[in-house]
Amino acid sequence: GAGVSQSPSNKVTEKGKDVELRCDPISGHTALYWYRQSLGQGLEFLIYFQGNSAPDKSGLPSDRFSAERTGGSVSTLTIQRTQQEDSAVYLCASSLGAGGPKPNEQFFGPGTRLTVL
């Protein structure tokens, strides 16, 4: 079956530009997560969605970062006025959220590698 997909796979942008990163979770997964991973670092939690609402936005590093989810499915992470320190791999994951033997098992997408010049 289809897994989590993300687009684009790579994005190179100039400092100050806005970027949008897209995540298509596994169908039926109610929970969706965004993480970022800088080179050689661990995963940094950004935001968590349950359905279309985001009960936890605590990881968003600044007000330049925002995310939305529509129809309980696709999510978009937007970074405004990008800075060089935003360069990282942005990973999306989805999980069932509830029910089943492994409701919190997260399935990760391949990530979007963002490079800000």
Type and span of the H or E element at 18: none
Span of 17-25, 61-69, 78-86, 105-113 interacting with other proteins by CB under 8 A: 105-113
Residue 82 CA: distances (Å) to CA of 28, 54, 105:
32, 22, 32
Residue 35 CA: distances (Å) to CA of 1, 99, 100, 101:
23, 24, 24, 24
Those residues with Cβ within 8 angstroms of residue 40's Cβ, 6 or more apart along the chain or in another chain: none
Q: Which is nearer to other proteins, 83 or 115 (CB)?
A: 115
Strands (E), 8-106: 10-13, 19-24, 31-37, 44-50, 53-56, 65-69, 75-79, 88-95
Residue of 35, 36, 69, 116 interacting with other proteins (CB under 8 A) = 35
Residue of 111, 112, 114, 116 interacting with other proteins (CB under 8 A) = 111
Q: Which is nearer to other proteins, 109 or 116 (CB)?
A: 109
Rounded least distance, CB 53 to other proteins, Å:
10
Interface with other proteins, residue 97, by CB under 8 A: yes
Interface with other proteins, residue 33, by CB under 8 A: yes
Site residues (vs other proteins, CB under 8 A): 31, 33, 35, 41-43, 45, 48, 50, 55-56, 91, 93, 97-99, 102-111
